[in-house]
Amino acid sequence: MNTTLLDPNKAKQAKKLIIALSIVIPVVVAILFKVKIEGFDFSILPSVYATINGVTAVVLIGALMAIKKDKRELHRGLIRFALLLSLLFLVLYVAYHMTSDSTIYGDSNHNDKLDILEKEKIGAMAYFYYVLLISHILLSIAVIPLVLFTYLFAWQGNFVKHKKFTRIAFPIWMFVAVSGVVVYLMISPYYG
Tens of pLDDT, residue by residue over 109-154, are 999 999 999 999 999 999 999 999 999 999 999 999 999 999 999 9
- pLDDT at position 5 is 64
Residue 148 CB: number of other CB atoms within 10 A?
20
Give the per-residue SS3 of 136-169.
Answer: HHHHHHHHHHHHHHHHHHHHHCEHHHHHHHHHHH
Contact 165, 152 (CB under 8 A): no
- pLDDT at position 9 is 86
Distance CA 154, CA 163 (A): 9
Contact 169, 151 (CB under 8 A): no
Give residue-wise pLDDT tens across range 48-98. Answer: 999 999 999 999 999 999 999 999 999 999 999 999 999 999 999 999 999
- Checking if the pLDDT of 102 tops 70, the result is yes
Name the DSSP class of 34.
T
- pLDDT at position 2 is 45
Residue 135 CB: number of other CB atoms within 10 A?
14
Which overall architecture, per CATH, does domain 41-190 show?
Answer: Up-down Bundle (1.20)
> Between residues 10 and 45, which one has the greater pLDDT?
45
- pLDDT at position 153 is 95
75-82 LR contacts (CB < 8 Å, sep 24+) = 76/154, 79/151, 82/56, 82/173
- Checking if the pLDDT of 1 tops 60, the result is no
Distance CA 97, CA 37 (A): 9
